[in-house]
Chain A
Amino acid sequence: GQNIDQPTEMTATEGAIVQINCTYQTSGFNGLFWYQQHAGEAPTFLSYNVLDGLEEKGRFSSFLSRSKGYSYLLLKELQMKDSASYLCAVMDSNYQLIWGAGTKLIIKP
């Protein structure tokens, strides 16, 4: 079956760095997405990786290793507004998004 694993919850301190891991097993691979979702709101797009390596976008970076079925989202210089759930999603061979359960990130002052 298809499976996306990510930690349920993480806590970090304002100004610090946090890495959220995601491992996946899917039938085919057409890219991996990271979305941010604040409580009561719809997800918003953060990043897309389809090739191995690191994609940097401001304070956020995303890494992918296809051979290991592994990705991480790196958040630097954490701000209180970064408190949210972070969803990892993989697009399978049918171009369907398979969603992880999300990682709730709690930022403490």
Chain B
Amino acid sequence: GAVVSQHPSWVICKSGTSVKIECRSLDFQATTMFWYRQFPKQSLMLMATSNEGSKATYEQGVEKDKFLINHASLTLSTLTVTSAHPEDSSFYICSARDPREGDYNEQFFGPGTRLTVL
């Protein structure tokens, strides 16, 4: 199957700083990528849908100015958590659909980024 990578795998930062997370599709071009957040013992929560060359579509309740998403190329989307606070500590996961899969619609997930804000 398709491969999606994320960087960094984990990050610890001070409150008030900004953190950038990268999501890359390694062997395919992804016009659409998805950003999820997962708190302990909870399911995945979709934050936004990232479309190459256009603005991301955010889910209700997700602050656009706090979670900046840029999808500048067909293989890279970035999520920047601005002015991070301890409540932003979570597991952030990106995923992408491989357009070669046709109607199969499977999402391939990156390995996730564990963010801890002190």
Chain A residues with a Cβ under 8 A of chain B: 30-31, 33, 40-45, 48, 87, 91, 95-97, 99-102
Q: Is there an interface contact between B105 and A41, defined as CB atoms closer than 8 Å?
A: no
Q: Is the CB of A87 within 8 A of B43?
A: yes
How many A-B contacts are there with CB distance less than 8 Å? 42
* In the complex, chain A residues whose CB is within 8 Å of the CB of B49: 96
Asked if residues A48 and B106 are in contact (CB atoms below 8 Å), the reply is yes
A82 CB to closest chain B CB (Å) equals: 19
User: Chain A interface secondary structure, helix, strand, loop or mixed?
Assistant: loop
Point out the residues of chain A lying under 8 angstroms from B34, CB to CB: 97
Of B44, B46, B109, B114, which one neighbours A44 at CB under 8 angstroms? B109
Name A8's closest neighbour in chain B (CB-CB): B41
Once the chains are docked, how many angstroms separate the CA of A43 from the CA of B46? 14
A23 to B43, CA, bound (A): 16
Q: How far is B55's CA from A88's CA once the two chains are assembled, in angstroms? A: 29
B105 near A42 with CB under 8 A, answer no
Question: Which residues from chain B contact A91 at a C-beta distance below 8 Å?
Answer: 105
